[in-house]
A and B are shown apart, each in its own frame.
Chain A
Amino acid sequence: MRKIRAGDAVVIAAVLALAVLTLLFSFFPRRAGKRLTIFSDGRQESYPLTEDREIPLSANGYSLIVKIEDGKAYVLSSTCPDKVCIRSGPLTKQGDTAVCLPAGILLKIDRGGDADEDAVAG
């Protein structure tokens, strides 16, 4: 009856775990990387969708509050007249956009590691 020593078992387990982890990380390198990018007044800022926050914006005399919550981004309120940005609803997928034309603000979800679509038409 052959026996593996306790030391050997530890080494085997460690090497196996290391190999499996390496493999997993290589397949899912940026899994949680989806971001909200806000284009406003010629500048852009990017926020991770993983951290809840409120982002106050103002441009062209209009004020908006953008909220990131539970992996979604949406326009909570806006002083613009048409409210298209609020109607655009929560943004979750890569390529999802919400636009406030009067303020000249574009919100867009950018690629994370689990890239789904290149763009959203419509």
Chain B
Amino acid sequence: MKKKLSRVPLALVLAFSLLLSAAAFSSCETEPETGPVAERTTFVMDTFLSVALYRLPESGEAAEEDALFSEGFALVKDLEDRLSRTKEGSEIYAFNEAESSYVLSEETASLIARALAMSEATGGAYDITTAPLTELWNVAGGGPVPDDDALAEALSHVSYRKLTLSGTTLYKSDPAVRIDLGSVAKGYALGKLCDFYAARGVTALVNFGGNVGLVGEKAEDTPWRVSLRSPFSSNESAGSFTLSCAPAGAVSGTASEKENTGHNAAAGGKTVSFYVAVSGDYERYFEADGQRYHHILSPFDGRPARGIRSAAVTASDAADADMLSTALFVMGPEAAAAWADTLASEYGATYVLIPDDGVLKTGGLSPETFSPA
């Protein structure tokens, strides 16, 4: 009898243990695999382009995986060859060298048209004619700080109003006008690359020099988490975005709510893309006399824009996000915040601004979508 009774708790313990083990194993089975299946990086447009493929179409074989990388990278390289300011043979190089006009390809002309529209919309804070300033400051080469006369001379050739686009012909009213698509080309290329993956039903995460493109859902009902780098400390986060690429309508503010110019073409279908673009002063700069001179130059005074350390914009269009992050950075914290409503209504975009004082200002972001660190 004694012997039998002592077996009762033992049986219970065994049963309990079995349940625990079963729970453990079943959690293994149901846990969705959310890591990338393949990842590659290349260097293009003066920065890194890192593509992580998460979910491939059913027929995804290794050979197709290779093509997804090589064709995607080739697409971006092709854009670099056409849009680079410094590459001989590019359309932009040719325009900059031209005396008064140059006939662009349709695609480049339509990108320039978007950039000019953004200049109008932002009161000139966004301007692609800052190339004379970029060349004068030579931030990548370490300066030095130009003198006032040289700055005034360069600035006299800076204004988007000196450009006129007629059909695909771009005219300049001043032969010294030079354009630089550094504030939109990467975003545009990121959007095209993500469209390429979306059209093939591929779930992907693309990091293009710190601008992030999200294509499709990592796993069903699993949002992407994108950390925003702190401008004050390189290994710290300023906050974290939780962004869904669920099919249109599932999450407000992320699905494509506006008609755009052919980008994110797959948004009406099943694969949605979303973007985070960041303009910051903490990576490309030189120091002189204890001052930091960074690469985002104001078309208003020709000097590195002050007041904001980092401007992040999320939008369903990558080129918009890229241009807007630059525009907000140039505007400075007050003007940028005052312009926030337009940002939401015209571009369906949200922002995080990190001014010099480190007090985060966000617009259009719910606590679920962005949480400061």
Contacts and interface: CB of A to CB of B under 8 A. Distances in A.
The 4 A-B pairs of least Cβ separation, nearest first, read A122-B229, A89-B234, A19-B17, A26-B24
A91 B312 CA distance: 21
A117 B226 CA distance: 6
Contacts of B207: 95, 97, 119-121
B121 interface: no
A88 B211 CA distance: 16
Contacts of A27: 24, 27
Nearest to B14: A15
B41 A44 contact: yes
B280 interface: yes
Most chain B CB neighbours (cut-off 10 Å) among A16, A19, A23? A19
Nearest to A15: B17
A72 interface: yes
Given A20-B20, A118-B225, A3 B211 contact: no
Contact of A12 (B13, B43, B228): B13
Interface of B, helix, strand, loop or mixed by DSSP: mixed
Interface of A, helix, strand, loop or mixed by DSSP: mixed
A108 B229 CA distance: 14
Interface in A25-71: 25-27, 29, 39, 44
A79 to B, nearest CB: 15
Nearest to A29: B28
Contacts of A44: 41
A29 B224 CA distance: 22
A12 to B, nearest CB: 5
A3 B2 contact: yes
Contacts of A91: 235
Contact of B41 (A29, A39, A81, A111): A39
A118 B224 contact: yes
A70 B284 CA distance: 28
Contact of A26 (B10, B25, B235): B25
Contact of B227 (A16, A23, A84, A121): A121
B287 to A, nearest CB: 11
A44 B35 CA distance: 18
Contact of B6 (A2, A23, A72, A120): A2
B178 interface: no
B293 to A, nearest CB: 13
Contacts of B18: 19
B225 A84 contact: no
Contact of A2 (B5, B48, B229): B5
A122 B310 contact: yes
B82 interface: no
A8 B6 CA distance: 8
A72 B21 contact: no
B46 interface: yes
Nearest to B283: A84
Contacts of A88: 234, 283
A111 B5 CA distance: 50
A37 B284 CA distance: 23
A58 B9 CA distance: 65
B142 interface: yes
B16 interface: yes
7 contacts: A8-B10, A15-B17, A23-B21, A26-B28, A88-B283, A119-B227, A122-B238
Nearest to A88: B234
B47 interface: yes
Contacts of A120: 207, 210, 226-229, 237
B234 A87 contact: yes
Contacts of A39: 41, 48, 50
Contact of A81 (B14, B21, B142): B142
